Amino acid sequence: MTESFNSMLGDHRAAIYLELLEYIIRLVMGKFQQRKVECEKWNLVIPPRINSKILKASRESRLLKMINAGEMEYELMGPDMTCAVKLREYTCACGRWQINGIPCCHAMAAISHYCGRDAVKDKVVEFVHQSLTKSAYMHTYRSMIHPLPDQTMWPDVGTHQIIPPPLHVQPGRPKLQRKRELDERPKEGRTGSVVCKSCNKIGHNKRTCINGKSVRKKRKSKNSGASSSHPHSIIGTSSSQPRT
């Protein structure tokens, strides 16, 4: 929710508080009128998105087997699970109907049997939560936000000028990436893998290679042994020569 709201603000997030509030007021003012006009164009009692979800649940209900237990209670058997539906209590064992207020596929099968296939289009509204109807949406956006005059036309209240606190620059480089939530995935790094030039294995480079260190140590030991034996040979040859 916060990230979507910040994306709507855009570059206005860096503005001062007064300019930011004015932008939010204008944004909400236009949204209210836009939603109000959209609600007036609806021909059904249920909004289009809710109606599409009901039609999808109705198509899925054709694959279920139903047993009428009486008193508006049904048992629906599907390929994955069996659910009990109580139309009087507006409940289903799967829990979807209670959570979003829209009849699930099990409830739609029971409603279709209880009301009849011909009358289910008109009666299904009675089983949708009241907050998801067209009247509820119209009641939400019936009010309006009146436009505000320019700042130059605001009356002077005669108070002292409020000065912002001094700005203290924090040490260190400023952070460019936002703080992620605890359950949010970290940002993915660059693609590809590093190949070592010493052992030709993936996952490390030549500097951090363990095999390369052992090879370099052996080479150093050989070089040191050769260098130590070389001066002795020179001394031996020089001592064996006869004096003139």
Summarize pLDDT for 134-165 with one digit per residue, the tens. 999 999 888 888 888 888 888 888 888 788 88
What per-residue confidence (pLDDT) applies to 232?
47
Average pLDDT of the chain?
Answer: 81
What per-residue confidence (pLDDT) applies to 224?
58
Residues of the chain with pLDDT under 70: 1, 189-192, 212-244
pTM of the entire predicted model: 0.57
For 206, half-sphere exposure in the C-beta direction (CA atoms, 13 angstrom radius) is 4
CA distance 54 to 121: 10
CA distance 129 to 96: 12
What per-residue confidence (pLDDT) applies to 240?
46
What per-residue confidence (pLDDT) applies to 15?
73
Phi, psi dihedral angles at 206 (to 5 degrees): -70, -35
What per-residue confidence (pLDDT) applies to 193?
76
- Any idea which residue has 């990436």 for tokens? 177
61 and 106 in contact (C-beta within 8 Å)? yes
What per-residue confidence (pLDDT) applies to 221?
57
What per-residue confidence (pLDDT) applies to 93?
93
